[in-house]
Amino acid sequence: MALPVGRPEEESGLEQIEVDLLLEGIYRRYGFDFREYAPASLRRRLRRRMDGERVETLSALQSLVLHDPQVMERLLLDLSINVTAMFRDPTFFLAFRRQVVPLLRTYPFSRIWVAGCSTGEEVYSLAILLAEERLSERTRIYATDINEAVIDVARLGVFPLEKMQEYTHNYIRAGGTRAFSKYYVARYDGAQFARSLVDSVVFAQHNLASDAAFNEFNVITCRNVMIYFDRPLQDHVHRLFYESLATFGILALGQKESIGQSPHEGAFEELAAEERLYRKVR
Amino acid sequence: MSYELIAIGASWGGLHAMSALLDGLAPEVDPPLVLAQHRRVDSQRGALAELLQKHVERPVREPDDKEPIEPAHVYVAPADYHLLVENGFFSLSTDARVQFARPSIDVLFESVAAAYAERAIGIVLTGANEDGARGLAAIKAAGGATVVQDPASAERRFMPEAALALAGGADAILPVEEIPGFLYELCVGARR
């Protein structure tokens, strides 16, 4: 008997079935929930892991992932590393210096949450900015990510030496006035950033999709993290941020992310619309 | 069968080619145009969209993440982001460069092939690298229509040639000035 399977042009439907089954399996086996990630980027990242494991189908990848936690660890890296740069979008950091720093000066002590810190480039950028503004002593950065492995990288504070030219350029455009090379020591092919920058940073594992609020913050930055989420998960995270922000707290999003369609849009006003800096007013 | 999205990839010489394409575009051709154009990481935000806006009435914009895709709009991938389409809206990504590029044409086109399949048209214009070749092949394999700028007429012929080689030809190989007419036939001619 011939089974009624889809035509070849319905293969994308088959791929979707495989994606759904894989994500359901990961959730039930390991507790990581990628079921509400935006499909297009997710597919690319899954395909990258398929190439890395030398398998032809998502079903084959699923079998490996479910039976071998090391494959899951590699997949977790693929799914959760957000590529970024120090002082990415220099004009954002310039706006932070000019418009957020003066607000922070009005508080005796403030807490900043870098949500989805990945390998730490943004954490070190902010730490440098705060040090230059003499705010290090009275701010604490909380840097979280879903993935313990990238947090370990962030803690180390070693970034590729070949990136330093680009980062120096960004730093200057971001309003930096010192010699950027003062902040790191070249070691082999890595740039080791000063430990003192992150002495007071709290690094911790936190899952935006499933974990609750854990403190009250004056600033939350979450730039180019939620672009990998679908709308319902974005709404969920916006709610989490709203609940975690103090009144008059600042929310910083990526250059192409908007609070426009979030359920809490009305609770925020624009502090620097072009730079996607928002202030919670109610 | 009607076309619902036109994806365009361009690199070296792309601004000139894309301007010529928009100059000739009839208002009746109303599927959204989505462009991935290679450019410097620190290009001024929105500058490319502003330049292209001078060539066409319909709105030209750099979309935000999850912005709905609307007909009779031109969308330009923002500098330093990959632009991907889902069914009816955009997603952005900052994942590693593909073919040394972000935005990458392959990333855009492969997402178009997955979400729009035979409802998509893919166009590869001038350029000096291989980006777009895999993507155009994906659109073709998914049943979409393919157009490549005639390499002899392109400011840089390498990218159109690479696309033709990998995709095994295209439905049309045209000088850029003749692409709008072909789009008219595909999108408007078919309705009659």
Domains of chain A: residue spans and CATH: 8-80 (no CATH), 90-280 (3.40.50.150)
Closest CA to A204 of A137, A82, A116: A116
Q: Report, as an integer, the average pLDDT of B74-102.
A: 95
pLDDT of amino acid A10 = 58
8-state DSSP, A55: -
Q: Report, as an integer, the average pLDDT of B103-130.
A: 97
Cα distance between the two ends of chain B: 12
B140-143: list long-range contacts, CB under 8 Å, 24+ apart: B140/B167, B140/B168, B140/B170, B141/B113, B142/A9, B142/A12, B142/B113, B142/B114, B142/B116, B142/B117, B142/B118, B143/A9, B143/B117, B143/B118
Q: Report, as an integer, the average pLDDT of B157-173.
A: 97
pLDDT of amino acid B43 = 78
pLDDT at B38 exceeding the cut of 60: yes
Quick one: pLDDT band at residue A4, thresholds 50, 70, 90? low
Q: What is the DSSP string of A196-256?
A: GGGTT-EEEE--TTT----S-EEEEEE-SSGGGB-HHHHHHHHHHHHHHEEEEEEEEE-TT
Using CB atoms within 10 Å of the CB of residue A162, give its burial: 0 to 12 exposed, 13 to 18 middle, 19+ buried. Answer: exposed
pLDDT at B139 exceeding the cut of 80: yes
CB pair distance less than 8 Å for B117 and A12: yes
Return the CA Rg of chain B: 15
Quick one: pLDDT band at residue A11, thresholds 50, 70, 90? low
What element of type H or E holds B85? strand B82-85
Please identify, in words, the CATH class of the domain defined by B5-191. alpha beta
Q: Given the residues B30, B38, B73, B106, select the one marked as catalytic.
A: B38
**Per-residue pLDDT tens digits for A37-96:** 999 999 999 999 999 999 999 999 999 999 999 999 999 999 988 888 999 999 999 999
pLDDT of amino acid A150 = 93
Cα distance between the two ends of chain A: 64
Bridge partners, residue A187, by sequence: A190
Closest CA to A23 of A13, A10, A38: A38
Q: Of A4-8, A146-150, A272-276, where does mean pLDDT reach its minimum? A: A4-8
**Phi, psi of A230, deg, nearest 5:** -85, 175
CB pair distance less than 8 Å for A257 and B95: no
**% of chain A at pLDDT higher than 70:** 96
pLDDT of amino acid B44 = 82
CB of B120 within 8 Å of a chain A CB? The answer is no
Q: Could you tell me if A59 and A98 are in contact, meaning their C-beta atoms sit under 8 angstroms apart?
A: no
Q: What is the ipTM of this complex?
A: 0.92
Helix, strand, coil percentages, rounded to 5, for chain B: 35, 20, 45
pLDDT of amino acid A48 = 94
What element of type H or E holds A46? helix A39-53
Residue among B63, B93, B110 minimizing CB distance to A228: B93
CB pair distance less than 8 Å for B65 and A83: no
CB of A256 within 8 Å of a chain B CB? The answer is yes
What is the average pLDDT score of chain A? 94
Quick one: pLDDT band at residue A6, thresholds 50, 70, 90? low
CB pair distance less than 8 Å for A227 and B95: no
CB pair distance less than 8 Å for A260 and B117: no
Quick one: pLDDT band at residue A198, thresholds 50, 70, 90? very high
Q: Report, as an integer, the average pLDDT of A96-112.
A: 97
pLDDT at A7 exceeding the cut of 60: no
Task: Determine the Cα–Cα distance for residues A249 and A279; give it in Å rounded to an integer.
Answer: 6
Q: How far is B167 from chain A (nearest CA, A)?
A: 17
pLDDT of amino acid B190 = 64
Angle (nearest 5°) at CA A213 between A212 and A218: 160
**% of chain A at pLDDT higher than 90:** 88
Q: Report, as an integer, the average pLDDT of B91-105.
A: 94
pLDDT of amino acid A163 = 95
Number of Cβ within 10 Å of residue B91's Cβ equals 26
pLDDT at A260 exceeding the cut of 90: no
Q: Report, as an integer, the average pLDDT of B24-29.
A: 96
CB of B91 within 8 Å of a chain A CB? The answer is yes
pLDDT of amino acid B1 = 64
**Residues from chain A contacting residue B81 (CB–CB below 8 Å):** 256
Quick one: pLDDT band at residue A263, thresholds 50, 70, 90? confident
